[in-house]
Chain A
C-alpha cells in the first residue's frame, strides 16, 4: 500500500513536472552564469544534504545543536529547505491543501532569498495582494533600474475574467507555467533560473511574442 502510493506519487510528479519544467533542465545553460553561485552549480539553490565527514559533516550523527540536546523532532522543525523545494513539488502535483509551506509564493521566495536588493540588485515587491485589474500595486512610471516593484507582477492571480485584454489561461499555459489553483504569476512564469540563453533568464526571447503570450 505504502509502496504503491509512493510509486503513484513518483509517477504523478514525473507527469506533472513535464509542463511546468519544460525546457527547464538544469544542465544546459547554468554553468558560468550568474546563477552558478560561487561555481557551485546546482548547490547554490538546491542545498546539499551533507552527510559524510568529507562533505563537512561530523562523524556518526551529524551536527548536533548543543543547546537543544533533547529538542523534540528537531529534524522536523529544522527542515525548512524541504518546505521550500519539496513544497514546490507538491504544488506542481496540484496539491489541494496549500499550507504555508506549500504556498505558491514559495516558488518566488527561493528567488527572493537572493534578489532582495542587496545580495543581488533586483528586488521585487511581494507584500501586496496582486490582482489583475488593480494597478495600485505597481507604479505607472518607466522601468525601474533597481527595484522591480512597478513592472513585475509577482504573485498576481492571472484572471482573464477580471481583465478582458488578457489571453485565456490555457493559451498562456501552452508556453508559460502559472502556479497554484489561482493561476498565479510567479518569478518562474517568465524566468527559467537554469537557462540564460534568452538573457535575463527569460523562458522566451524578449520579443513581441513574449508580450502577446498573455496580452491580447
Chain B
C-alpha cells in the first residue's frame, strides 16, 4: 500500500503559515470575510462543535515539511532550468515521529522528533527552522518531551539516554542531568513559579521532580500502581504531564486509563476518566494540557482525537478522528497549550504538527453568562 497514493495531500500539502494573531482568532461568521473563501470550506474554517452550538475550537495550521516553513510556495523554475530541462530537486525535511511539543516567549514551536533524534524549532513569523540535536559530546538519542522556561531555556527529555538535556536559547547544550533518577522519561512540564520541572516516567510509573535552577533531583510524586489497583497517587505508565495556572499537576496516567490531578505538594486532588470507548473515557491517554480557563485537554492515541474536559473532569468536547485531513489524527501523541490558548498537537504516524485555537466565548461560558475581557 503506497502511503502517498492513499493520502495524496500528505506529500503535497502546502503548510499554511497563517498570521496566528489575526485571522486565527477572527470571530466566526465575520461578515467581512472574503466571499470567495465561503464557497468551499477551507481548513482554516474548521470549527468545533458545528453550528448551532457556539464554536469553541478553530483549526489554525499544520506543519509536516520543515522545508515548506521556509518557502511555503514552490519555486518557479528559473531560465537555466527551462533551457537545460533539468529541475532542481525540491528540498524536503519532513517530520517523522514528533512527540513532545511546546512554544517559547517568541511564539516559536518546539517539537521533539523521536526518530530523527532532533528537536525542531519552528518560527512561523520568521519562516525559519532550527534544530537542536545536541553536540558531538552529547547527541540526542530518543528526544521525547520538551519544555521551555521563561528565559527560553529548552529542556528535552530523552528516553534513550534516560536523562534531561538543557539547551541555551541559542541552542548550546548547557547541561545533562537526571540519569540516576530517570527510567524512561516521557512528557515534561515546567512550573515556573516553583522553579520546577516535572518528568513523567513511564518505566518507573511515577513523576520525577527537578529544580530548574540547580538542576537537582528533588524527589518523586506517586508510586507504581499494583496491577488492577489504581489507588490515588499511584501510576501505571504515566506518559505526559501539564501544570495549570495554580501550579497543580495533571498527569496522563496512561495505562490506568485516567487523568490524575495532584497539588504542588504531590497530594492527590482528583482523578477522572475510565477505560472505555465512549466520550469522556480513555484507551490511550497521552498528551495533556490545561487552557487559561482551566479546561483539561487530553489526546488519545487510540481514539485519535483530543477531548476537552471541565476542570472537574466533565467531558465537554471531542475533536478529531482517525485520518490525515486537517482536524483528524493518526497516532496523536503530544499536546500543548500556549499562553494565547493555542492548542498544539503532534502525530507520530504521518509526522505532523497541528495548531488549533481555543475560542473564549464569554457569553456561553457554561451558561453562566460570565462577561470577561477576551484574551486576545
Q: Do A and B come from one complex?
A: yes
Residue positions of A touching B, CB distance < 8 A: 36-40, 43-44, 47-50, 55-57, 62-72, 74, 77-81, 83-84, 98, 100-101, 103-106, 109-110, 112-114, 116-121, 123, 125-129, 146-147, 149, 155, 157, 180, 182, 184
- Extra inter-chain contacts (9) besides given A80-B302, A119-B286, CB under 8 Å: A39-B227, A47-B275, A63-B279, A65-B280, A65-B317, A78-B279, A106-B322, A118-B99, A146-B159
Q: Please give me the residue from chain A that is nearest to B144 by CB atom.
A: A118
**Alpha-carbon distance A103/B304, docked complex (angstroms):** 15
A114 touches B284 (CB 8 A): yes
Return the contact of A146 from the options B141, B228, B333 (Cβ within 8 A): B141
Return the contact of A66 from the options B286, B316, B323, B330 (Cβ within 8 A): B316
Given known A69-B53, A109-B349, A146-B142, contact A63–B284 (CB-CB < 8 A): no
Q: Which residues from chain B contact A184 at a C-beta distance below 8 Å?
A: 1
Q: Which residues from chain A contact B144 at a C-beta distance below 8 Å?
A: 117-118
Given known A68-B53, A71-B49, A118-B159, contact A49–B276 (CB-CB < 8 A): yes
Q: B181 at the A/B interface (Cβ < 8 Å)?
A: no
A127 touches B96 (CB 8 A): yes
Q: Which residues from chain B contact A83 at a C-beta distance below 8 Å?
A: 321-322
B348 touches A116 (CB 8 A): yes
Q: Which residues from chain A contact B333 at a C-beta distance below 8 Å?
A: 116, 118
Q: Mark B312-336, 1 if CB is under 8 A from A, else 0.
A: 0011111001111000001101000
Q: Please give me the residue from chain A that is nearest to B323 by CB atom.
A: A100
**Alpha-carbon distance A78/B321, docked complex (angstroms):** 7
Q: B24 at the A/B interface (Cβ < 8 Å)?
A: no
B349 touches A127 (CB 8 A): yes
B96 touches A49 (CB 8 A): no
B225 touches A119 (CB 8 A): no
Return the contact of B276 from the options A50, A98, A128 (Cβ within 8 A): A50
Q: Mark B131-146, 1 if CB is under 8 A from A, else 0.
A: 0000000000110100
CB distance from B248 to the nearest CB of A (A): 22
B315 touches A65 (CB 8 A): yes
Within 8 A of A (CB), among B90-118: 94, 96-97, 99, 114-115
List 16 A-B residue pairs with CB atoms under 8 Å apart, sorted by A's residue number: A38-B230, A38-B255, A38-B257, A47-B281, A50-B276, A65-B316, A70-B49, A81-B302, A100-B6, A103-B1, A109-B349, A119-B239, A125-B96, A127-B350, A147-B115, A147-B142
A117 touches B53 (CB 8 A): no
A80 touches B186 (CB 8 A): no
**Alpha-carbon distance A108/B298, docked complex (angstroms):** 22
Q: Which residues from chain A contact B159 at a C-beta distance below 8 Å?
A: 117-118, 121, 146
**Alpha-carbon distance A68/B310, docked complex (angstroms):** 13
B324 touches A127 (CB 8 A): no
CB distance from B341 to the nearest CB of A (A): 15
Q: Which residues from chain A contact B225 at a C-beta distance below 8 Å?
A: 38
**Alpha-carbon distance A67/B276, docked complex (angstroms):** 20
